[in-house]
Every structure is written in structure tokens, then in C-alpha cells.
């Protein structure tokens, strides 16, 4: 029986040894991204770090508002206190003295006395104008931070558009390099055939080989730049840098009409969340200044406590205190005057920032319009230059094939065509970036995604 069991165990072990290894399948780390999907990922709760930081600032402002509100709401606390004390009554002026002929014995020292006190205490600022103004100021700061969160969303969207467009440009540069390599290989074959036919020299072949080597070197740099731009996009989207990105949208030129400057500035002042945030900060500054001024007024607090106190848990008697307190500020060493001066200075700073922001918005709108017009003109010029360079290369090839031109002419034409192709891709990218800048400047960044 033991032999049979051993044989079965050995057979099972042999089967396990001969069985193919079950290797874990690698997770699919490839993602296809459209621009719209990339923006959606960046704006998700776990998306771009800038977006997450802005959301945390909103939560912080909400907590600060609740803290300010607590100053004007009732506060209730519970406590349990145990104490053991002794007293020297003579130190308090209590001594034995005869009263109407009756001798009174009062000890000089008493204790120890143990007490147990269960008590609930409550307080409420019934009238405190300064606290109410501080609460209103905290609400204004929350409005400001909420507008800043919208600003962060717009800026994140603009960054994603730029990064996605840069990745598109890098991919187009790789495709351009491959086209230039194909052209160089074609010219090299032509040079070799011309040499075999006795219509070219070895120098012409060498020059074509040098041109091909240069184009391959440019391709290596283009591939490296493409990989780097993809990593930048992944980092901005807060995704794993080991993922493979495929861009679903090509980089294409979409002409748009530049808006009239005055109307665009008016739209920007109405739509830009930065201006909304700054106006809320100015309102908060005004309320803080008002709170500092109102801190000189009397305030009214209600207070009370209720509980049982005794020398043991079973001997406690209920006791209570209820009352009103009116606080009348008289002199605090100049603290309130200093706070009022500080609040006034902070308010003036916010007003200065507001005027500067309005001018900055107008500056950004006007410069973005000029940039878009310039980029549009550059795209048209680059398209024309690339078309002419294509014709020049065709003519140079034909002249070289017919033996009326040297390889120098065709090499120069090749170089100009390569530069023209790269300039065309760069011009389209700059036009795409200019569209995003203008959309961000007028406060309509969603329009730049289309």
C-alpha cells in the first residue's frame, strides 16, 4: 500500500514538472486617447494634481467657514471632575469667636474633602457683530476659492491641450522624418543608377549617402522627442508612466476667425473665473475690515451650567448657574486699532490686485488675438513653402536624371524640403496652441477642445 502511494505521488510530481508553466499575463498597459478623453481624465477627481489641489483648497475653505460659524452658534460641553482638597481657614480670615455667649469652635484646618462633579456647560454669543462679519467674510473666501477651482479646471484643460498637441507634433515630426528618409533613399537609388549609366560620379553617390545618414539621425531625435512628449502627457494626466499612449486625434489645421478685441475683452471680464475670485476676495477684505471696526462694540453672551456635585456618587445635589454677560471693550493696548489698520491694508492690496487683474485679462486677450492671427499666417506660408519645396525636389530629380544638374542641387532641394515639412508641422502646432490660449483668455476653454 505504501509503495502504491509513493508511486502515485511520484507520478503526480512528474506531471507537475512536465506541465507548462502558468506565467501571469501582463496587464494591458496601452491606452488610446482622444483630446476630449484626455481632458476628461485630467479633470476627474483623481486626475491632474493641479485639479486635486484646487479641490482640497475648496474643502479647506468650507472647513474654515464652519469654524467661523461656530463662533455665533451655541456651544455645549460636558465634564466630570474629581477633586480632593484641604484648606487653612485662618488664611481666609475665618476663626473662632464667641457669638451671644455661645462658644463657637471653628477649626483652623479642614480636609481632605473629596468631591465629584458631573456638569454640562453652555455658552452662546447672542450679539456679536464682529463674529458675524467674520463669518460672512469666510463665506466670501469660500466663493473665491470655488472660483479658483474653476480657474484650475480651465488651466488644467489648457495644459492638457498643449501637452496633447505637443505629442501630436512629435508624432508628425517622426512621420516627417520617415518621409525624408524615403526621399533620401529614392535619391540614393537614383544616384547609383546614374553612376552605373556613367552620368554621375562616386561623389554624387557619397553625397546621397550622407544625406540619408543625416535624415536617419533626425529620425532618432524625433523618436526620442515623441517618447518624451508622451511621458509629459501621462504625467500631466496623473497616469502610470509605463503605459503606452496612442493618440487617436491627428494634428490638423482648423482655421478660425479671430474675434474683435473689444467684444472679446468684454466676454473675458464676464467669463473669467479669476475675476470672479478676485471680486470675492475684495468682498472678504471689506467684511474683515468691518469686523475689525465692529469689534469695538459691546457684545452679549449667555452662559449656564447644570450638574450634580457631592462627596460621593450617591450624595450629589443638583446645582446650576444661568446668566448673561455684556462685554464692553474699553482698552486693549491698541490691539483692535492695529487689527483695523491691518484689515484696511489687506483690503487695499486686494483692490490693487483687482485693477491689475483686469488689465492683465485685457492684455492676455489682445495678445492672444494677435498670436492667433500670426499663427494663421504662418500656417498658410508654411503650406505654400512646403508645396514649392516639393516641386523643387521633383525638378531637381528630373534635372539630375537628365544629367543637366549635379547632386549638390538635389541635396540642397532635399534639405529645404525637410525644413519646410518640419516648419509646416510646427506652424500647425503653434496655431493649435494659439487657439487654446485665446479660448483660455476669454474664459471659454471648452471651445478649444473641438
**pLDDT per position as a tens digit, 189-228:** 999 998 888 888 899 999 999 999 999 999 999 999 999 9
Q: Are the beta carbons of 246 and 31 closer than 8 angstroms? A: yes
Cell numbers describing residue 38: 484626455
Question: What distance in Å separates the CA atoms of residue 101 and residue 382, rounded to the nearest whole number?
Answer: 122
Angle at 302 between CA 296 and CA 305, to 5 degrees: 140
Of the candidate ranges 15-19, 184-188, 353-357, the one whose mean pLDDT is the lowest: 15-19
3-state percent helix, strand, coil for the chain, nearest multiple of 5 = 65, 15, 20
CATH number, residue 387? 1.20.1600.10
pLDDT, residue 103, reads 61
Question: What distance in Å separates the CA atoms of residue 157 and residue 42, rounded to the nearest whole number?
Answer: 7
Q: Is 116 among the domain residues?
A: no
Nearest in space to 432 (alpha carbons), one of 255, 265, 272: 255
Q: Is 45 among the domain residues?
A: yes
Cell numbers describing residue 205: 553617390
Q: Which position has the grid cell 492690496?
A: 349
Q: Is 229 among the domain residues?
A: yes
| Per-residue H/E/C for 138-204 | HHHHHHHHHHHHHHHHHHHHHHHHHHHHHHHHHHHHHHHHHHHHHHHHHHHHHHHHHHHCCCCCHHH
pLDDT, residue 100, reads 56
Cell numbers describing residue 114: 473629596
Residue 111 Ramachandran class (φ > 0 left, ψ -120 to 50 alpha, else beta): left
Beta bridge partners of 321: 305
14 pLDDT band, cuts 50/70/90, is very low
pLDDT, residue 96, reads 62
Q: Is 310 among the domain residues?
A: no
Q: Residue 450 to residues 170, 233, 249: CA-CA distances in angstroms?
A: 20, 19, 11
Q: Is 330 among the domain residues?
A: no
How many percent of the chain have pLDDT more than 90?
A: 74
Angle at 314 between CA 310 and CA 315, to 5 degrees: 35
Task: Share the mean pLDDT of the chain.
Answer: 89
Q: Is 39 among the domain residues?
A: yes
Tell how many helices (H) and how many strands (E) occur in the chain.
9, 6
pLDDT, residue 18, reads 43
**pLDDT per position as a tens digit, 120-134:** 999 999 999 999 999
What is the domain extent for residue 53? 30-77+127-298+338-448
Nearest in space to 389 (alpha carbons), one of 367, 412, 408: 412
Counted domains in the chain:
1
Amino acid at each position: 500500500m505504501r509503495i502504491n502511494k509513493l508511486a502515485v505521488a511520484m507520478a503526480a510530481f512528474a506531471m507537475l514538472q512536465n506541465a507548462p508553466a502558468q506565467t501571469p499575463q501582463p496587464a494591458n498597459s496601452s491606452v488610446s486617447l482622444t483630446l476630449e478623453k484626455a481632458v476628461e481624465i485630467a479633470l476627474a477627481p483623481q486626475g491632474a494634481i493641479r485639479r486635486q489641489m484646487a479641490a482640497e483648497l475648496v474643502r479647506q475653505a468650507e472647513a474654515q467657514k464652519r469654524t467661523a460659524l461656530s463662533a455665533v452658534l451655541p456651544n455645549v460641553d460636558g465634564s466630570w471632575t474629581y477633586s480632593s482638597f484641604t484648606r487653612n481657614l485662618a488664611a481666609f480670615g475665618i476663626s473662632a469667636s464667641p457669638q451671644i455667649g455661645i462658644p463657637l469652635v471653628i477649626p483652623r484646618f479642614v480636609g481632605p474633602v473629596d468631591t465629584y462633579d458631573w456638569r454640562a456647560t453652555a455658552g452662546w454669543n447672542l450679539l456679536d457683530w464682529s463674529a458675524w462679519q467674520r463669518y460672512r467674510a469666510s463665506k466670501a473666501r469660500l466663493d473665491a476659492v470655488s472660483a479658483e477651482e474653476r480657474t484650475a479646471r480651465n488651466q488644467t484643460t489648457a495644459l492638457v491641450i498643449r501637452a496633447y498637441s505637443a505629442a501630436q507634433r512629435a508624432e508628425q515630426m517622426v512621420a516627417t522624418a520617415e518621409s525624408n528618409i524615403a526621399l533620401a533613399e529614392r535619391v540614393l537609388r537614383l544616384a547609383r543608377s546614374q553612376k552605373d549609366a556613367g552620368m554621375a560620379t562616386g561623389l554624387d553617390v557619397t553625397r546621397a549617402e550622407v544625406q540619408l545618414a543625416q535624415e536617419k539621425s533626425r529620425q532618432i531625435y524625433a523618436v526620442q522627442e515623441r517618447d518624451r512628449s508622451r511621458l509629459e502627457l501621462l504625467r500631466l494626466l496623473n497616469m502610470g508612466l509605463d503605459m503606452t499612449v496612442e493618440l487617436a486625434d491627428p494634428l490638423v489645421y482648423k482655421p478660425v476667425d479671430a474675434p474683435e478685441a473689444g467684444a472679446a475683452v468684454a466676454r473675458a471680464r464676464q467669463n473669467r473665473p479669476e475675476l470672479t475670485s478676485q471680486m470675492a476676495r475684495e468682498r472678504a477684505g471689506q467684511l474683515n475690515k468691518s469686523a475689525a471696526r465692529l469689534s469695538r462694540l459691546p457684545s452679549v453672551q449667555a452662559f449656564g451650567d447644570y450638574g450634580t456635585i457631592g462627596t460621593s456618587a450617591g450624595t450629589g445635589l443638583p446645582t446650576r448657574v444661568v446668566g448673561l454677560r455684556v462685554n464692553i471693550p474699553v482698552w486693549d493696548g491698541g490691539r483692535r486699532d492695529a487689527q483695523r489698520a491691518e484689515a484696511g491694508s489687506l483690503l487695499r492690496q486686494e483692490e490693487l490686485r483687482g485693477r491689475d487683474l483686469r488689465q492683465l485679462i485685457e492684455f492676455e486677450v489682445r495678445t492672444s488675438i494677435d498670436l492667433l492671427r500670426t499663427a494663421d499666417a504662418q500656417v498658410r506660408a508654411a503650406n505654400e513653402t512646403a508645396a514649392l519645396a516639393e516641386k523643387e525636389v521633383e525638378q531637381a530629380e528630373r534635372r539630375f536624371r537628365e544629367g543637366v544638374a549635379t547632386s549638390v542641387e538635389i541635396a540642397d532641394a532635399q534639405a529645404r524640403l525637410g525644413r519646410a515639412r518640419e516648419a509646416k508641422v510646427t506652424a500647425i502646432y503653434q496655431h493649435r496652441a494659439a487657439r487654446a490660449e485665446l479660448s483660455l483668455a476669454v474664459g471659454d476653454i471648452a471651445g478649444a477642445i473641438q
